[in-house]
Amino acid sequence: MGKIMQILKIAMAFVGIVVGAGFASGQEVLQYFVAFGIQGIWGAVLSGLVMTLMAMIILQLGSYFRAGEHGEVFKRVSHPVFSRILDIGVVITLFSTGFVMFAGAGSNMQQQWGLPIWVGAIIMLLLVLAAGMLDVDKVTAVIGAITPFILAFILIASVYTLFTADVDVARLDAAAKATVDTTLPHWTVAAVNSVGFNLMVAVSMAIVIGGSMFNPRWAGIGGMVGGLLYSLMLLVSALTLFAAVESVGTDALPMLTIINQLNPWLGQAMAVVIYGMIFNTALGMFYALGKRLTAKNPDRFRVVYIGVTIIGFVLSFIGFQTLVAYVYPVLGYIGLLLIAVMTWAWFRGHSQIRAESGRRARLMVLLGLRAGGKMAPREEAEFKAEVEASNLPREEIERAHREGHEV
């Protein structure tokens, strides 16, 4: 039972970092998938399959290297040039996603309450600046609790739409292609680009989550379960927005429109929940960016954090839909390099990862015998041989045992 709970915990953590405000609002799903009509539904299936594979790979590599941050893994699995490109790409992603959230905050309040876009954006700016001065771990933990609510709202919107809509596939296919604008050239490109973008946003935390797991096997299974859960949510969202495209195809926050159609009070609640998701994403992006830019001079964190946040706020007035249409795909193309590098590294080292998983499980058993005073000389010799063969130092293996890691 302990292993099952551990897998579910990792899976839900992965879903939590991938499902951001763009996904929750429906705008991301609209432009990446619904814009291509019925082919976009197949695109959602393809995207889900690729994401499931990548979730398993990234969390397993994070566990194998016991990584504490993404650069650690990039340096070990790729050429220094690619490692540098990916690091720069992640930094750009943090900034770009952050300022897209300011635009989303303005669109949220404008669509729901008719306020000028700058009102929602300024409130978000003040919240993000204030929270960045506090203990961000506690703040993000509180806001992170909103994730189950947004999942519930997506499910409610889906059930309502799919059971009440007049689903004429041919008509909806034509309406989707005519109504929704996209900068992506083909549904297959959009599917893979979507994974690339979401991985660029999530890779830092996903590697850290994987690194917290001692056994790569369980980390990989947790990633796979998380990828499948995400795939299910993506497919349900794509079907829902496809069925409702005639009424929500031009809206900035289409999922919010559907909930408002169902019940105005639920719409009010969802608007608040989406705003909270936007806040969580914006805070996480700018905080991580500030930390990355001041890694060698942490005393300057607050100054840099305030500076990049204000710059992001100014850029946000380009508009939410425009930013999603142009910024996300560019980051997605950079993410294709991430997919290629991580996939190649995993296939190249798969046998070593599998062997290391078994080795770490055996080492935990041997350390348990030692702790109970039952390790024989033959087992002591086996322990030394396994430690020498492992890619982890002895002290880290022993610390993992003291911390009670499941194997």
Each residue's pLDDT tens digit, 10-65? 887 788 778 766 787 788 899 999 999 999 999 999 999 999 999 999 999 999 99
* Pair of tokens at residue 348: 């190249």
Residue 41 in any domain: the answer is: yes
Q: Measure Cα distances from 40 to 171, 179, 195, 234 in Å.
A: 15, 14, 14, 11
Q: What is the pTM (predicted TM-score) of this model?
A: 0.81
Count the residues in the chain: 407
Digit-coded pLDDT (tens) for 178-208: 999 888 899 999 999 899 988 888 887 788 7
How far does CA 402 lie from the centroid of its chain? 31
What is the four-CA torsion angle of 132, 137, 141, 144, rounded to 10 degrees? Answer: 50
For helices 80-113 and 70-77, give the axis angle rounded to 10 degrees. Answer: 140
* Res 42: pLDDT: 97
User: pLDDT tens digit string along 361-399?
Assistant: 999 988 888 888 788 889 899 989 999 999 999 998 988
**Within-domain flag for 365:** no
Determine contact, residues 47/29, Cβ cutoff 8 Å: no
Per-residue pLDDT at 241: 94
CA distances from 342 to 19, 55, 263, 367 (A): 21, 10, 44, 32
3-state SS assignment for residue 370: helix
pLDDT at 138: 60
Rounded distance, CA 190 to CA 324, Å? 13
Residue 333 has pLDDT above 90, yes or no: no
Query: What Å distances lie between residue 349 and 69, 86, 345, CA to CA?
Result: 20, 20, 6
Q: How many CA atoms lie within 13 A of 144 on its CB side?
A: 14
The pLDDT of residue 324 is: 67
Q: Which of 364, 393, 351 is nearest to 2 (CA)?
A: 364
Is 361 a member of any domain? Answer: no
Does residue 60 fall inside a structural domain? yes
Q: Is residue 79 part of a domain?
A: yes
Domain that holds residue 310: 2-349
DSSP annotation of 405: -
Domain count, the chain: 1
Counts for the chain of helices (H) and strands (E), in that order: 19, 0
Q: What is the mean pLDDT of the chain?
A: 85
170-173 contacts at long range (C-beta below 8 A, 24 or more positions apart): 172/37, 172/38, 172/242, 172/243, 172/245, 172/246, 173/37, 173/38
Contacts 24+ apart (CB under 8 A), 128-131: 128/279, 128/282, 128/283, 128/286, 128/309, 129/306, 129/309, 131/279, 131/283
pLDDT at residue 148 is higher than 80: no
Residue 37, domain member (yes or no): yes
Q: Can you spell out the DSSP letters for 336-389?
A: HHHHHHHHHHHHHHHHHHHHHHHHHHHHHHHHHHHHTT---HHHHHHHHHHHHH
Identify each DSSP E strand in 224-303 by its residue range: none
Question: What is the CATH number for 192?
Answer: 1.20.1740.10
pLDDT, mean of residues 324-347: 85
**Would residue 384 count as lying in a domain?**
no
CA 184 from chain center: how many Å?
A: 21
End-to-end CA distance of the chain: 12
- CB of 150 within 8 A of CB of 273? yes
Q: What is the mean pLDDT of residues 116-140?
A: 80
Confidence of residue 137 (pLDDT cuts 50, 70, 90): low
Is residue 180 assigned to a domain?
A: yes
